Amino acid sequence: MNRITTALIAALEALVVVAVGIGIPLVPLTILWATTLRMASDWLPFWRGSVDLWLVGHGVDLTVRLPEAVAVTTGLPDAAQPFTISIALLGFALITVLSGLRVGRRAVISGDRMLGVVVAAVTFAVLTALLVLTATAAVARPAPVQAFVLPTLIYVTAMLAASEWESQRGPVGRRDATAVRLRAAVMQWPTMVRTGIDAAVRGATVAVAGIIGISAVVVAVMLVTHYATITALYESLQAGILGGVAITLLQLALLPNLVIWAAAWLIGPGFLIGTGTSVAPGGTVLGAVPGLPVLGALPQGEPAIGVLGVLVPIAFGVLAGWLAHRRLPSSATSLHLAGVGAGIGILAGLALGLLAWWSGGAIGPGRLAAVGPDPWLVGLLAAAEIAVPAVLAMLAAGWRGSADERAVAELRSDEPVRD
């Protein structure tokens, strides 16, 4: 593939991911504007609202100043004052990350990695800047520095990670100078250090992916089993077609957040739906919650059932330790095994803590300024719940391997000597 084709495809990929992210809320809202409102009102607020949703989905803080008439209808005492929405609607960020991963891999396969990554990054940054310039309104103002930096940073990080991974796993001829230098530097490390880090990273990846996967299943089961409650909440809102579509889009964008909150529930700390609330395995304490029907699926927190949730990170800690042990040389000592097991827990706890931090924030004024899990508690507890079983699993596997080796050696020593 020549350089011009590589650059054009990279630019087109960046354009598509931005268009898809903005189009998800904008298309249905525009249809409703044309059909329900008969194009009688201004369309620009729908455009600005879609851009604001996309920016918030990438972690950009949004300062909102509601008109006094609207603030009164919310029933919140501080709604008339400017407040910040800082919770990331991770559904939008997930689309950007997946696109960045695809572009990064394709750039390596094209044979000119840096050109593809740079063109895609510049195109994405320019489009983001244009969007930011059109998103500012009296009602909602995104934080300018965050708006220019965060979406592009997420996109570029995903591209670089995927491109490096694809470069290292592919044929030697596919590696560019950067990949070759990085691999050469890593190969200079002692074998035990290099294999230990590799095993710990792979083990932590298995543990985090497993916990998130089980959390997604838990969310799906809760949505299905509480379908009647969710439907009743939809009907009680009486939001009409326009409001119903907006609420549905918001809930779809929040699904990745709900999965991470479910992981926090399985790990133990649970999460908040406003100040003074708690959704944890030990019990659920709620006051007035945001009017989102999906919150009708919140667990009631039966302690006997909640305790079983802790078995999930423990089980994946054992699995991660066992898989990591298989990647280590037979000469690894017990201290080395324990260090790798502890590294699995630390890396997994760090990843889950960062996800918990990214999934929470403020969704409104007053008590709604605290929503989501405590990232420190999630990270620390996850590290402990994964590290301890991982260490025990690795030590047990190491002891069993040593016992098998001793048994084989004894059998060989008992064989008669042949002339």
How is the chain split into domains, by residue range?
3-188, 196-412
Pairwise pLDDT comparison (215 vs 406), residue with the higher score: 215
Q: Is the pLDDT of residue 302 over 80?
A: no
Q: Which of 13, 119, 21, 86 is nearest to 364 (CA)?
A: 86
Give residue 256's identity as a one-letter amino acid code: P
pLDDT of residue 267: 93
How much of the chain, in percent, has pLDDT values that exceed 70? 83
Q: Is the pLDDT of residue 144 over 50?
A: yes
pLDDT of residue 148: 93
pLDDT of residue 121: 94
Output DSSP code: residue 85: E
How confident is residue 401, by pLDDT bands cut at 50, 70 and 90? Answer: low
Query: Could you give the C-alpha distances from 225 to 247, 254, 263, 279, 382, in angstroms and in order?
Result: 20, 19, 19, 18, 28
pLDDT of residue 409: 44
Q: How far apart are CA 147 and CA 412, in angstroms?
A: 69
- The phi and psi torsions of 325 (rounded to 5 degrees) equal -60, -35
How confident is residue 366, by pLDDT bands cut at 50, 70 and 90? Answer: confident
Give the mean model confidence (pLDDT) for residues 5-9: 86
Question: How many other CB atoms are found less than 10 A from the CB of residue 42?
Answer: 10
Give the mean model confidence (pLDDT) for residues 97-118: 86
pLDDT of residue 178: 63
Tens of pLDDT, residues 209-257: 999 999 999 999 989 988 888 888 887 777 677 677 778 888 888 999 9
Name the 3-class secondary structure at 122. Answer: helix
How confident is residue 411, by pLDDT bands cut at 50, 70 and 90? Answer: very low
- The phi and psi torsions of 42 (rounded to 5 degrees) equal -70, 140
pLDDT of residue 251: 87
- DSSP H helices, 284-365, are 303-309, 311-326, 334-359
Q: Is the pLDDT of residue 70 over 90?
A: no
> Which pTM value belongs to this model?
0.87
Q: How far apart are CA 298 and CA 265, in angstroms?
A: 11
Q: Is the pLDDT of residue 19 over 90?
A: yes
Give the mean model confidence (pLDDT) for residues 102-116: 84
pLDDT of residue 355: 95
pLDDT of residue 363: 84
Q: Is the pLDDT of residue 75 over 80?
A: no
Q: How far apart are CA 360 and CA 371, in angstroms?
A: 6
Give residue 43's identity as a one-letter amino acid code: W
The mean-pLDDT minimum among 15-29, 81-95, 291-305 falls in 291-305
Q: What tokens does 398 get?
A: 């190491």
pLDDT of residue 177: 63
Tens of pLDDT, residues 146-184: 999 999 999 999 999 888 888 777 665 555 666 666 667
Where are the strands (E) in 77-216, listed by range? Answer: 83-85, 140-142
Distance from the Cα of residue 326 to its chain's centroid:
28
**C-alpha dihedral sign at 110, 112, 115, 117:** positive
